[in-house]
């Protein structure tokens, strides 16, 4: 049997147009969707107020969708790297896939997580799943980030057409044995 792959979900709680999910499916093994509640790791970007209510409803919805596809959503709480390492060990996963976020502190954290997982010998890949263009790839002729919107926009228009949205999987192969998971209302 092929090694399982974790799909680390954050604010991208959807099945359609989800590059990390598609990559996990293409890896050929069981796909284990994971959400880690890590307010400390989110820094000033963590959910508060109405965002917490949205998160609870969105998690319930995506959990039901993953259940129908055959691979239940695993919910954990704590430090993201620590929880990912625990899940890798418990599931014997060989890869972790996720869609990038672009908040500065979260980019730094994600980069450190990718480096640590690769140093541990695991495949760790992130994808642009939230923006039309990856901002790290749109640069001036001198190779610097744009400082003015109009030249930036003109450069974006040169990169048309946009890619077609990715299709949601119809079925997933889940883990061989159930993994421990928190209830959504425990977050």
Q: Where are the domains of the chain?
A: 5-132+166-186
Nearest residue to 94 via CA among 33, 29, 35: 29
Q: What is the pLDDT of residue 138?
A: 84
Q: What is the pLDDT of residue 47?
A: 64
pLDDT of residue 172 exceeding 90, the answer is yes
- Fold adopted by 5-132+166-186: Rossmann fold (3.40.50)
Nearest residue to 8 via CA among 127, 158, 163, 90: 127
Tokens of 82: 């620590």
Q: What is the pLDDT of residue 48?
A: 67
**Residue holding tokens 């140093």?**
119
Q: What is the pLDDT of residue 72?
A: 97
Q: What is the pLDDT of residue 88?
A: 98
Beta strand 31-37 pairing with 5-9:
parallel
CB 129 within 8 A of CB 101: no
């Amino acid at each position: 049997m092929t090694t399982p792959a974790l799909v680390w979900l954050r604010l991208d709680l959807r099945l359609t147009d989800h590059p990390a999910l598609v990559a996990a499916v293409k890896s050929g093994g069981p796909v284990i969707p994971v959400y880690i509640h890590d307010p400390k790791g989110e820094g000033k970007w963590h959910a508060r107020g109405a965002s917490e209510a949205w998160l609870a409803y969105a998690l319930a919805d995506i959990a039901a969708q993953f259940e129908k596809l055959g691979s239940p959503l695993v919910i954990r709480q704590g430090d993201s790297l620590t929880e990912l390492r625990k899940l890798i060990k418990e599931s014997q996963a060989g890869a972790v896939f996720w869609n990038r976020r672009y908040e500065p502190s979260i980019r730094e954290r994600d980069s450190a997580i990718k480096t640590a997982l690769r140093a541990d010998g695991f495949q760790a890949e992130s994808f642009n799943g939230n923006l039309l263009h990856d901002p790290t790839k749109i640069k001036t002729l001198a190779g610097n980030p744009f400082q003015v919107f109009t030249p930036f926009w003109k450069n974006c228009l040169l990169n048309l057409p946009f890619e077609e949205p990715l299709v949601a999987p119809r079925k997933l192969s889940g883990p061989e044995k159930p993994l421990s998971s928190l209830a959504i209302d425990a977050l």
